[in-house]
Structure 1
Amino acid sequence: MNNRFEEKTVASEVLFEGKVISLRVEEVELPDGKFAKRELVGHPGAVAIIAITDDNKLILVEQYRKALNRSIIEIPAGKIEPGEDNEVTALRELEEETGYGAHQFNYLQSFATSPGFANEIIHIFVAKGLYKIEKPAQGDEDEFINIIECTIEEAEQMVLDESIYDAKTAFAILYAKKLIDN
């Protein structure tokens, strides 16, 4: 990777440390020698799961997102806890949000969500051979979720009608279509 446009940090100030994110302002030296300020959000990273049933349906979750002031439909996902392995997080989130486990569980890809101001990376996993867990682990007490099972065509329509409104889920549906069609 070429770093010819690298911005060197000359000063950094933490403005906020929260449960999920941190906010800092950095003064950087630009490649041309000038200086600029960058407002940056720190995030521990997250996982997301493309859960595909034996009859090639997707398991999605609907939940209210306060930042958007609306409910949206998403693939199961969650924040990585400190020291937790990405795959362990993904299996935990699949169980907590959907009540499913998976006989086949594979890492697919990682990507940056908002690289202009945040360092959050989402790690995508594919879950197949799904089975219902008799007594699944409970999710977050402040999380209210509706589980949706749909075809890939229905999920594509949800992207078009903006029921699916987040990038990770739209990204995942592109991959799911390829996985289901093969």
Structure 2
Amino acid sequence: MEIEPTGRELTRWTIHGERLVDDTRRLRLSIASVELPDGVTFEQYVLRIPKAAMMIVLDDHDRVLLMWRHRWIIDRWVWELPGGYVDPNEDPAVTAAREVEEETGWRPLNVEPLVTMQPMVGSADAENLLYLARGAERIGEPTDINEAERVSWVPLDSIREYIESGEIVGAASQVGLLHVLAFGR
């Protein structure tokens, strides 16, 4: 008895190999040889980026802790969630909490996983793990002065306006904040 292939087998792309272009601490760049189901082949740049963990910190007044920072790649000032790369063998929730403390001077409380995403699924393996903290305690000034111009508690009901005006452009920040707005706090 022959089993008919499902749509999954009919549309799966085949990777025939990857040529390394550059390998650094924060990025592995390669060119993959790819074959489509219809036999067409091409080369595709592939970015392999370490996991990153970010955190949405909410207070009792329906505000979220955000950082105002300059992103030189796009040469714009934007609001973002605190977060950073996950160190080898570090629990991503610990990374997210540590980054909040270093970048904002606030210690998150009651941390729970929120959502995982891939911001550039067509060309990059860049897993972003988002966490939610309900509450935070002030522990002092940010220890990393290079991260943000300022740190603010922003009302959740203004987040859509910030996104529409282009003040929140980062994929992880948008996904995390919209997730909280859509599915509850």
TM-score (norm 1): 0.88
User: Which residue in the other structure is 1:68 paired with?
Assistant: 74
Return the offset for 1:134. Answer: 4.2
Distance 2:86 2:8 in 1: 29
Return the offset for 1:135. Answer: 7.0
Distance 2:49 2:173 in 1: 19
TM-score (norm 2): 0.87
The answer (yes or no) to whether the contact 1:47–1:79 under 8 Å persists in 2 is: yes
Change (3 A) 1:4 1:44: farther
What secondary structure, in the 3-state scheme, does the structure 1 residue paired with 2:8 have?
coil
One-letter amino acid of the structure 1 residue matched with residue 50 of structure 2: P
Distance 1:3 1:103 in 2: 45
One-letter amino acid of the structure 1 residue matched with residue 121 of structure 2: P
Distance 2:141 2:171 in 1: 31
Distance 1:154 1:71 in 2: 17
User: Which residue in the other structure is 1:92 paired with?
Assistant: 98
Distance 1:73 1:86 in 2: 22
Return the offset for 1:85. Answer: 1.3
Return the offset for 1:168. Answer: 1.7
Change (3 A) 1:4 1:145: farther
The answer (yes or no) to whether the contact 2:106–2:140 under 8 Å persists in 1 is: no
**1:122 maps onto 2:105 in alignment:** no
Distance 1:85 1:16 in 2: 27
Distance 2:33 2:137 in 1: 50
CA deviation string 1:110-167 (max 9, x = no partner): 011001110101111001121112476x33x643442021111222211111111122
**1:179 maps onto 2:172 in alignment:** no
Change (3 A) 1:79 1:162: same
Return the offset for 1:72. Answer: 0.8
Q: Find the partner of 2:165 among 161, 166, 169.
A: 161
In structure 2, list runs of 5 or more residues that go unmatched.
1-6
The answer (yes or no) to whether the contact 1:101–1:133 under 8 Å persists in 2 is: yes
The answer (yes or no) to whether the contact 2:103–2:148 under 8 Å persists in 1 is: no
User: Which residue in the other structure is 1:105 paired with?
Assistant: 111
What secondary structure, in the 3-state scheme, does the structure 2 residue paired with 1:2 have?
helix
